[in-house]
Amino acid sequence: MSIFKGAGIAIVTPMNDNLEVNYDKLEEIIEMQIAGGTDCIVIAGTTGEGSTLTIEEHKQVIKAAVEFTKKRIPVVAGTGSNCTQTAIELSQDAQNAGVDGVLVVTPYYNKATQGGLIKHYSMIADAIKVPIIMYNVPSRTGCNIQPQTAATLFHTKENIVGMKDATGNIEQGVHTMSLTDGKLEMYSGNDDQVIPLMSVGGLGVISVLSNVAPKYVHDMCISYLEGDTKKAMEMQLKAYPLIKQLFCEVNPIPVKAAMNFMGMNVGPLRMPLTQLEKEHEEGLKAAMREFGLKLA
């Protein structure tokens, strides 16, 4: 049984002005997401600035998300690291906190070989019982899980169940699904390629766009799963201009700016991420208005 189908939100981590995590706001956002139909909370990932959370903050943010969600929808925790032992410890901590799964990004900077990736993910899988979604985003990590590697891990480790594919390479996604007989739980990691990946067996998306349009992304995914492919395709295309603006700078800079433009008050970003450049503000706001979002 899959962890979730539909729209999982790659949720931001709201901050106070002093850059401490704003837990009250996190609870508020989670409530808004659940009310909007989001199918899964994905906490402490790239969009959640997981790389600049301390180990203790990482644990606490995940624990808080589980507590705030109250088992109404699944919670998946980002627990990847470029150190295998750290990834194991973060995954074990998340499991102890009660998550429904973990999202494990490939080791970054180290540039592990394919054999190294198999050992890395296998060691994590052997150390925990909860399901693992591999996260493949070579543009950020410099490391690419090749289709045969993904298939080997899927076939040899029972709790390695899925892939967040942010390669931008549809052919690679098709190849991976082919080698796993369409049974790998595939989620798009790119909001502009959700329906293309669902067309080859993907179950949905781990979405940045959901931070500002949860019901829309949920409805798009469910429309496809329920067979209304025309509606899903039209929704994918309509969202493209806004998606493009949400990635006009490195994620999560634009999406946090967008949420603040909407009056959500999710606060600043931690260094080395900086606020959205002035030259991009009007383009983002214009795309938001055109999409139908209300600015504060």
**Is 23 assigned a catalytic role?**
no
Other C-beta atoms lying within 10 Å of the C-beta of residue 278: 7
Across the chain, which distance is largest between two alpha carbons, in Å? Answer: 51
Q: How far is CA 295 from the centre of its chain?
A: 24
* Rg of the chain (C-alpha set): 18
Single-letter code of the amino acid located at 194: V
Catalytic site residue from 135, 187, 216, 224: 135
CA distances in angstroms from 51 to 1, 77, 249, 256, listed in the order given: 30, 13, 17, 16
CB neighbour list of residue 56: distance below 8 Å, 6 or more residues apart: none
C-alpha to C-alpha distance for 17 and 22, rounded to whole angstroms: 9
Catalytic site residue from 121, 164, 224, 256: 164
Judge whether 10 and 45 are in contact, CB under 8 Å: yes
47 marked as part of a ligand binding site: yes
Single-letter code of the amino acid located at 269: L
**Is 164 assigned a catalytic role?**
yes
Helices assigned H by DSSP within the chain:
23-35, 55-69, 84-97, 114-127, 138-141, 147-156, 170-179, 194-198, 214-225, 229-246, 253-261, 278-291
C-alpha to C-alpha distance for 244 and 21, rounded to whole angstroms: 28
* Nearest alpha carbon to residue 167 among 183, 147, 184, 181: 147
Query: Which residues does the annotation mark as catalytic?
Result: 135, 164
Q: Which residues are annotated as a binding site for pyruvate?
A: 47, 206
